[in-house]
Amino acid sequence: MAKAKKILVIHGPNLNMLGKREPEIYGRATLDEINKDITGKGASNGLDVQTFQSNHEGAIIDKIQECFGNIKGIIINPGAYTHTSIGIRDAILSVNIPVIEIHLSNIYKRETFRHKSMIADIAVGQISGFGIYGYMLAIDAMMNFLSSS
């Protein structure tokens, strides 16, 4: 059997607070529950999906750099760093791994400072506004992208 393709899902700052944090915006599911769904969906589709969360920009950059040469695709919700982090953008460019950007909320319906993403133009695509279902869409989109590229 072919070796499972490795995918990494990165959750940025404050996403460890899911379930408690502004549930009217982000829903009631916890990060553990979301990670179980993600890894389960990956496994049933022959993907080896790992997950990582950090509140620290440098830790996220270190993790992206570690992906070089062993991870086939990255799904990332950079949280608030979406709107500010040139460092995360540069890390993604440095490893040359396809990235799908995801947000639980529709960032374009919210404050104007959330409308700008530092990674949207270097991502394969962006999923925004579908809550936790967005992660299922992102896994499907990554599988489709990897099998057609």
Return the number of the residue (42 or 79) whose C-beta is nearest ligand DQA.
79
Other Cβ atoms less than 10 A from the Cβ of 36: the count is 13
Q: Is 11 a catalytic residue?
A: no
Closest by CA to 68, choosing from 96, 99, 45, is 96
Q: Which of 26, 56, 108, 115 is catalytic?
A: 26
Binding footprint of ligand DQA on the chain (CB under 6 A): 14, 77, 79-80, 82, 103-105, 107, 114
Q: Smallest distance, Å, CB 43 to ligand DQA? A: 24
Q: Which of 103, 108, 133, 135 is catalytic?
A: 103
Look at phi and psi of residue 141 and say left if phi exceeds 0, alpha if psi is from -120 to 50, else beta: alpha
Q: Smallest distance, Å, CB 4 to ligand DQA? A: 27
Pairing of strands 5-11, 47-53: parallel
Q: Smallest distance, Å, CB 100 to ligand DQA? A: 13
Other Cβ atoms less than 10 A from the Cβ of 88: the count is 23
What's the chain's Rg over C-alpha atoms? 14
Return the number of the residue (34 or 67) whose C-beta is nearest ligand DQA.
34
Query: Which residues participate in catalysis according to the annotation?
Result: 26, 103
